[in-house]
Structure 1
Amino acid sequence: MSDLYLPPCCTTLSDHWPLPLALPGVQLISTRFDPARLSAVDFERSGIAAVSGVAKRQTEYLAGRLCAREALRRVTGTASVPAVGTDRAPQWPTEVSGSITHGSNWAGALAGHASTWRGLGLDVERRLAPARAERLAAQILTPAELQRLLDLAPEQRATRVSLTFSLKESLFKALYPLVLQRFYFQDAELLSCHADGSARLRLLIKLGSDWPVGSELDGQFVEFDGFLLSLIAIPA
């Protein structure tokens, strides 16, 4: 039953790829979730270890793991659930790269063979309101990124801050499993983002021998239903 059961708090799992550029061999699975519909038996019936916390925390975790299990099933043939490491990061099978994200009642996970993709980072965010974006901008953006905001209207500035936040979250998710070194918003900068959903980022610190200062990585993003979804994929 655990492989088939979908709790009422989650919508039918979707394999729709909303981002502009599909990645060969990578599966993205998503669902929408409603914490008000979470039941005490949903974790057990889903075959997923329960977590503590308020209903929102529990439901987003469950939804993310259900997506990850289906993504892994499609990539490897085995419907396993990533455990939680001591660093709180999902523990994927050694032959797989993957990422989980959730926010504002949407959850998604992607997985691909590590022989093709060294790292995958996925992040979903609600677009920040202009006032909140202004308050957070200096924490998220480097001085150079802040300078590039000056000519933008308030709504455009809010979108750029939100997008930069999401892309840097995706960058961390893609790189951290490879370098096992924490880094922060000021340690990378968004060089460019375009209407076609492409983006490019640059590291401002060294992250091991493979990632010197100045290393550049490609990303992509899409906006849908008020969400910003971003992805950083590092080819093998």
Structure 2
Amino acid sequence: MTTFSSFYGPFDSGWPWASPLPGAHLVALGFDVTLFGELTADCQTSGHHGIDLPSRLHGAVAKRRAEFIAGRLCARSALRRLDGRDATPGMNDDRSPSWPEDCVGAITHNDGWAAALVAHRQAYQGLGLDAERLLGTEEARRLARRVLTPREATCLKRLDPSSVGLMVSSAFSLKESLFKALYPVVGRMFHFQSAELVAWHGIGTVRLRLLEDLGSGWAAGREVDGEVCLHEGRLLSLIALPAPGLEHNECTNCDARA
């Protein structure tokens, strides 16, 4: 008999990027959509370990329901590691996670893997986390037309073909993480062309620059740091926005401006 506990694997709190993020907690787990699909319909909608599916997901495919549950399991575990609280973020009307008022966080999932990153709002005004599969060269070139700015596209043309997939995958993922971190702050939609990589040096720290005024102090030209790593066959990106008053004004990657 398939039970809910067989649908997901153990929690993993390892930090995959080179530098830890002070005060933040990451929790990940693997899950099996096939096993989740074998659960009864009643079990899939009535809740799992205290996590209820939003009504808008009751008719969703098993994959989407499984992703929601796995991501919330990670989020709840991360919040417990943060300060011992027992809380699970629900879903806002815009489908974003509804975090506790004094916390910020982000959730991601990709091909049977989910993760959540959380921290206190007094330390960060926003967090962005995204997981993507690494694109092949030709697929990356097709996606580049939608994701890259003209300046990024020029940079792409100069790369060795072996680096094309990594660069486009990273640009896509970093801009997804930027959106997750900034959207709750500025309260408005923005798209891939609203920001660009200042320079591309591969895995590690990457700097992004806004190309559009988003409001709430986030004007065109403002820059933020992101992190990219490869972890268990996936590309993971991270963006953390320090709380007002905690930002550093010096560029930590000044050579990237050249």
Q: Same fold (TM over 0.5)?
A: yes
Instruction: Determine the C-alpha separation between the residues in 1 that align with 2:99 and 2:107.
Output: 11
| TM-fit CA distance, 1:11 | 0.7
- Alpha-carbon separation, structure 2, partners of 1:26 and 1:214: 27
CA contact (8 A) 2:167 2:202 kept: no
Give yes or no for contact 2:106–2:129 (8 Å, CA) kept in 1: yes
TM-score (normalised: structure 1) = 0.94
Residue aligning to 2:161: 154
Provide the residue aligned with 1:183 in structure 2. Answer: 190
How far apart, in 1, do the equivalents of 2:167 and 2:200 lie?
Answer: 9
- SS of residue matched to 1:162: helix
What is the identity, as a one-letter code, of the residue corresponding to 2:235? L
Q: Quick one: which amino acid aligns to residue 109 of structure 1?
A: A
Q: Which amino acid aligns with 1:87?
A: D
2:127 touches 2:239 (CA, 8 Å); kept in 1? yes
Tell whether the 8 Å contact from 1:140 to 1:185 is kept in structure 2 after alignment.
yes
> How high is the TM-score relative to the length of structure 2?
0.86
- Counterpart of 2:51 (choices 48, 52, 64) is 48
- TM-aligned CA distance change 1:193 to 1:148, over 3 Å: closer
Q: 2:48–2:69: 8 Å Cα contact kept in structure 1?
A: no
Q: Deviations over 1:74-96 (max 9, x none)?
A: 21321211111011100101100
> Mapping of 1:87-98 within 5 angstroms?
87-98=94-105
Whether contact under 8 Å (1:20, 1:196) holds in the other structure is: no
CA-CA distance at 1:116 after TM superposition: 0.5
| 101, 111, 134: which one aligns with 1:104 | 111
1:196 shift after superposition: 5.6
C-alpha distance in structure 2 between counterparts of 1:61 and 1:209, whole Å: 30
Greater mean alpha carbon deviation, residues 40-49 or residues 204-213: 40-49
CA distance in 1, matches of 2:206, 2:48: 41
The aligned counterpart of 2:247 is none
Other structure's SS at 1:108 match: strand
Shift of 1:142: 0.1
Alpha-carbon distance between aligned partners in 2 of 1:46 and 1:145, rounded to the nearest angstrom: 45
Partners of 2:198 and 2:137 in 1: how far apart? 22
Q: Which amino acid aligns with 2:27?
A: I
2:134 alignment partner in structure 1? 127
Q: Spell out, residue by residue over 1:27-68, the C-alpha distance to the aligned partner (whole angstroms, 9 max, x if none).
A: 000001110111233662411112332121111111100000
Aligned residues: 232
Work out which structure has the larger RCO, using CA pairs closer than 8 Å and 6 or more positions apart in sequence: 1
Distance in 1 between the 2:108 and 2:120 partners? 19
Moved beyond 6 Å, runs of 4+: none
Provide the identity percentage: 46
RMSD: 1.5
Q: How far has the Cα of 1:201 moved from its partner? A: 0.1
* 1:97-130, Cα deviation, whole Å (9 max, x unpaired): 1000001111000100000011100000001122
Q: 2:143 and 2:150 mapped to 1: Cα distance?
A: 13
Among 66, 88, 97, the residue aligned to 2:73: 66
| Consecutive unaligned residues in structure 2, runs of 5 or more | 244-258
Once the two structures are TM-superposed, the CA of residue 209 in structure 1 deviates from its matched residue by: 3.7
